Amino acid sequence: MTEKTPASSQLTEGDAVSYRLLIADDHPLFREAIADVIRNRYPDADILEAENLEAAAALAEDNEELDLILLDLNMPGMNGLNGLIQLRNESPTIPVVIISAEEEKSVVLQAMTYGAVGFIIKSLPREKMTQALEQVLAGQVYLPSDVIRASDDGRSRTKRIQEENQIPPEMLNSLTRRQLLVLERMANGESNKQIAYNLSIAETTVKAHVSAILRKLGVHNRIQAVLAASNVDFNQYLRR
Summarised one tens digit per residue, pLDDT across range 161-191 is 555 556 788 888 999 999 999 999 887 767 7
Q: How many CB atoms lie within 10 A of CB 119?
A: 26
Q: Report whether pLDDT(1) > 50.
A: no
Task: Round to whole Å and give the CA distance between 119 and 97.
Answer: 6
Is residue 36 within 8 Å of residue 160, measured between CB atoms? no
Domain boundaries, the chain: 13-150, 162-238
Q: What is the pLDDT of residue 220?
A: 74
Query: Is residue 169 classed exposed, middle or buried when 0-12, 13-18 and 19+ CB atoms within 10 A define those classes?
Result: exposed
Closest CA to 15 of 189, 134, 117: 134
Please report which confidence band the pLDDT of residue 54 belongs to, taking 50, 70 and 90 as the band edges.
very high
Task: Round to whole Å and give the CA distance between 70 and 231.
Answer: 29
Give the pLDDT confidence of 188-230 residue by residue, as tens digits. Answer: 767 788 889 999 999 999 999 999 999 998 887 776 777 678 7
Who wins on pLDDT, 48 or 186? 48
Task: Round to whole Å and give the CA distance between 31 and 50.
Answer: 9
Strand ranges, E, within the chain:
20-24, 46-50, 68-72, 96-100, 118-121
Is residue 42 within 8 Å of residue 67, measured between CB atoms? no
Is residue 213 within 8 Å of residue 151, measured between CB atoms? no
Identical fold for domains 13-150 and 162-238, yes or no, is yes
The architecture CATH gives domain 13-150: 3-Layer(aba) Sandwich (3.40)
For 162-238, CATH gives 3.40.50.2300
The secondary structure of 1-58 as a DSSP string is -PPP---BTTB-HHHH---EEEEE-S-HHHHHHHHHHHHHH-TT-EEEEESSHHHHHH
